[in-house]
Copies of this chain bind each other. A is one copy, B any other.
Amino acid sequence: MRPAIIVHGGAATWRGGPRATSAGDARRAAALAGCEQAARAGDEVLRRGGCALDAVEAAVRSLEDDETFNAGYGAVLTREGGVEHDALIVDGALRAGAVGALVGFRHPVSVARALLERGEHVFLVGEGARRFALEAGVPEEPVASLISPGARARHESAADTVGACAVDRDGRLASATSTGGIAGKRSGRIGDSPVVGAGGFADDALCAVSATGQGEPILRLGLSRTVAELVRAGAALDDACRRALTTLAERTGGHAGVIAVAPDGRLAHATSTPQMPWASIVAGSLSSGIEP
């Protein structure tokens, strides 16, 4: 078995407009660097012999710490000017933990992980999710400390999301996804990110997938599950990713990006949006890019 990890920093948000700007260039460079750092954080777990679940959690925590991305610290603001996080973590044994409209935590993916480990409920939202996180010992932070200067500026920007997929040396798969949702969303709006089969999916027999892009179309189709079902039907991983995006556009008019990992360590990334920063590490070798 060949451990491997791939991460993304969100589709559809890295344009500098019709002409490139130096601000756009700097933001793209920061996104690429943040993805590479997150891939290293996950790879370190895998190289120590850690499981895929630990690796994707570590990678997404790194992205949540980076204000470049719309997740954790740096998430976009709701219509009311607050911050509400959604996150999902799943493994290939179909275990899952998900939180939605969570207020007050820097690392929503770790609240989702605590829920997965508890094994009682899979999906908690709002105040109930907050109370669970506190019971689980996850440190709460004042909402103001989670809002980066950049997030205030991005109040009107498009959606994006971060995610990671990994396979460990035992061939176990995992996927994690985390987001602040869309700027100006209603309080209580849940997008695709925390929904099993939409924002992420993993099945040890098929692949692990994490999605980003237009939340409502991704949720209506079940984009991550669509990738997995194409793999089940015999498609190669990269072909499954591309075909799932075509289906998304045809059926919903939506656009998105996906990353995926197969049990044999093959990786894939695809997007129907202008740009999606990604980074991967296989056998110590780092690759990254920002083009579709």
A132 to B186, CA, bound (A): 9
| Residues of A142-197 whose CB lies within 8 A of B | 185-191, 195-197
Are B125 and A126 in contact, with the CB atoms below 8 A? yes
A contact patch SS = mixed
A94 to B226, CA, bound (A): 13
Determine whether A44 belongs to the interface, using a CB cutoff of 8 Å to chain B: no
Interface size bracket, A side:
35 or more
Nearest-Cβ distance from residue A113 to partner chain B, whole angstroms: 15
Are B94 and A221 in contact, with the CB atoms below 8 A? yes
Q: Which of A5-13, A116-124, A258-266, A268-276 contacts B (4 or more CB under 8 A)?
A: A116-124
Nearest-Cβ distance from residue A263 to partner chain B, whole angstroms: 16
Are B196 and A125 in contact, with the CB atoms below 8 A? no
With A101-B128, A195-B195 as contacts: A186 and B225 at CB distance below 8 Å? no
Nearest-Cβ distance from residue A129 to partner chain B, whole angstroms: 5
The number of times this chain is found in the oligomer is: 2
A221 to B225, CA, bound (A): 10
Closest to A248 in B: B94
CB neighbours (8 Å) of A101 from chain B are: 125-126, 128
Closest to A218 in B: B122
CB neighbours (8 Å) of A56 from chain B are: none
CB neighbours (8 Å) of A23 from chain B are: none
Are B195 and A196 in contact, with the CB atoms below 8 A? yes
- In the complex, which of the residues B121, B122, B129, B185 contacts A121, with contact meaning CB atoms closer than 8 Å? B185
Which of A121, A186, A191 counts the most chain B CB atoms within 10 A? A121
Determine whether A291 belongs to the interface, using a CB cutoff of 8 Å to chain B: no
With A195-B195, A198-B196, A225-B225 as contacts: A187 and B220 at CB distance below 8 Å? no
CB neighbours (8 Å) of A98 from chain B are: 190
CB neighbours (8 Å) of A90 from chain B are: 220
Are B219 and A96 in contact, with the CB atoms below 8 A? yes
Determine whether A2 belongs to the interface, using a CB cutoff of 8 Å to chain B: no
Determine whether A140 belongs to the interface, using a CB cutoff of 8 Å to chain B: no
Nearest-Cβ distance from residue A246 to partner chain B, whole angstroms: 15
Are A220 and B189 in contact, with the CB atoms below 8 A? no
A-B CB proximity, top 5 nearest: A128-B188, A126-B126, A123-B190, A128-B187, A125-B125
